Chain A
Amino acid sequence: MSTATAQVPDQLGRFGPFGRRFVPETLMHALDQLTEEYERAKADPQFQEQLANLLQTYVGRPSPLYFAERLTEKAGGARIYLKREDLNHTGAHKINNTIGQTLLTLRMGKQRVIAETGAGQHGVATATACARFGLECVVYMGEEDIRRQQLNVFNMRTMGAEVRPVTSGSRTLRDAVNEAMRDWMATVENTHYILGSVVGPHPFPMIVRDFQAVIGREARQQCLDAVGQLPDEVIACVGGGSNSAGMFYPFIEDDGVALTGVEAGGRSNKPGDHASPLSYGKPGILHGSYSYVLQDDDGQTLDVHSISAGLDYPGVGPEHSYWKDTGRVQYTTCSDEDALATFQKMARLEGILPAIESSHAVSQALKSAANRSPDDVILVCLSGRGDKDVNEVARLTGQTL
């Protein structure tokens, strides 16, 4: 395939060959409507101004770009800078997207919002935006995840969202997406589905990327201001792929900037032990889109594993598949063990408890920095804070809270 451009997707939702729309006819009209409304909103200065204002005064943007001095010393090579999405309201990048899509919901005159969530970060960010605008909110969440993420479940309910347990299939994020899509098919007239990552049918991968691209736009300018040059490498973790897509997209046409996505390597590279479709999967169909996916030879979705609930997903956004096949972004994995060790390093060296998802990215940054000269600059997207993960980290390290 030829070189990657930022002029994707096309009208059919194609990123190279990836993306498109593989959904039941019942949803096609709603997707057309959403595409049209989004195009109008994008071109509407009032919409953009309202969004920018909320991102500044409610979310707390711009998020800082922070020079991680002791982490840099530890790695002993390139200078590591962290893009602090963990400092956003609700503690992760997810809110950049939910604020944007909530404004779209209001424009479409819909009163009800649904969402899926795995770790609960997107659920909380959706519940937050809905509370802020007085919209009804239903969040689908796997039964297993509800048990593991009680803090986020409590927060969602406190903000007035209904958290619906998903008991079908694998009872995880993937089935939460299925249930949300089913709900949407029966309620499209009055309901908007706020998808939480750059996955699903067109136009979601485009819309979510655009709302998350604020991360990369800010980081690019902040880097120029702070060090007077573009970074040599930009690193982010990849679950569905939204924080990474938002971080990478503004750098896509900066040829000198290496881009690295880090997938959840889990316990091993055997099926069922990881959540790395770009590294170990094949192109196929899942949740309405054509992209790399973890499937068996019959097209059945495989179970996945990661220490991090937010990366525990068998698919990935189609734009990442495009970036992989064009060679624009390199994808690698980080094991559960390395992510956990990096979580602890970050705590001790920088006084930052990172989300275990983000620890995957920092882990790769440490490796890459060690092989680079001190003249080099690495930007890492620190996609979220680790409060939600302390129970799990305590359990894995044999401690009690």
Chain B
Amino acid sequence: MAETTLISQKFLELKSKNRLAFMPFITAGDPDVDMTKDLIRTLTSAGVDLIEVGFPYSDPIADGPVIQASYTRALNGGITVDQILQAIAEVKSDDTPPLVAMVSYAIVFRHGVEEFIQDAKKAGFAGLIIPDLPGAEAAECFELVRSYGLDLVQLVAPTTPRERVQQIVQNSSGFLYCVAVAGTTGVREQVADALLDQLRWLREETDLPLAVGFGISKPEHVMPLRELADGVIIGSGIVRQLEDLVQGAVDRETTLKKIGQLANAMVSSTART
């Protein structure tokens, strides 16, 4: 895998700056595509390193209540794959950091695997995370994704035994998504010791950058990861800010400002020195 991709370039660049990557997750279409475009612009200005864009799915078993509710809101608003791709194509500029699509295999398969990859690339995505296409099941899809010059990011879970890791790494590129806790996405208080151990041995198994997600929600969570991880991902911590917006408790401006501030704080926390 010699050719570099936008995502691997980004991690190389961060390494030379001695920083971790900060990668926020947002749901496309929650509550509508205009908000999604505004969020991408806001996060870009805040200096985030990559952005994960979730494609709403009706049966997201890997997601906790916050993201699931967000998906439900977006689907109730009538969001479709084509609308998401169009919005991404419209909002993407030279400043936009690499965008990673988080999308269920149910959607990719129905769309047509190759067609989806093609369309995602055309819209401006740099990579895909297909959380329900694990390990060996991903082999075929991995070849296709790579042939279009995109990355297919795989997940490693706390329950993943070391013997399985090579199978996963073989079909993964860009970075490895290290799931911090057994369970679903969601906001949690602390980073587990077991995760730190796992990051240590993962480092011996692969040269891929290691990004930690699930349960990361604030700058304090980054501290213990600084020496062991190459990136952190916040999902529910950002998405839940939209709940107040949808309930009418705050307006769009305020929501964007709050998310921008959180992103700024996270970006500052990712400097190693």
Contacts and interface: CB of A to CB of B under 8 A. Distances in A.
Interface string A275-310: 000000000111110100001011111000000000
B181 to A, nearest CB: 8
B157 A25 contact: yes
A84 interface: no
Interface of A: 12, 20-30, 168-169, 174-175, 178, 181-182, 185-189, 284-288, 290, 295, 297-301
B63 to A, nearest CB: 8
B104 to A, nearest CB: 7
Nearest to B132: A22
A301 B72 CA distance: 12
Of all A-B residue pairs in the complex, the 3 with the closest CB atoms, nearest first, are A186-B183, A299-B110, A299-B107
Contacts of A298: 80-81, 107, 110-111
A181 B159 contact: no
B59 A287 contact: yes
B134 interface: yes
B182 A22 contact: no
Chain B interface: which size bin? 35 or more
Nearest to B130: A22
B149 interface: no
Given A23-B61, A178-B59, A178-B61, A185 B183 contact: yes
6 contacts: A12-B136, A26-B182, A28-B135, A29-B157, A182-B184, A301-B58
A21 B81 CA distance: 24
A26 B62 contact: yes
A398 to B, nearest CB: 35
Q: Most chain-B CB neighbours within 10 Å: which of A29, A185, A299?
A: A299
B161 interface: yes
Contacts of B104: 285, 299
Contacts of B137: 20-22
A300 B58 contact: yes
Given A185-B62, A299-B57, A169 B72 contact: yes
A213 to B, nearest CB: 27
Contacts of B107: 298-300
A31 B82 CA distance: 34
Given A25-B157, A25-B160, A288 B132 contact: yes
A182 B184 CA distance: 6
Given A181-B61, A298-B80, A300-B58, A24 B105 contact: no
B57 to A, nearest CB: 7
Interface string B133-171: 111110000000000000000111111110010001000
Nearest to A175: B59
Interface string B52-66: 000001111110110
B140 to A, nearest CB: 12
Given A30-B159, A168-B65, A24 B131 contact: yes
Contacts of B155: 24-26
Given A182-B64, A288-B132, A26 B157 contact: yes
Contacts of B255: none
A174 B61 CA distance: 11
B179 interface: yes
Given A295-B110, A299-B110, A169 B59 contact: yes
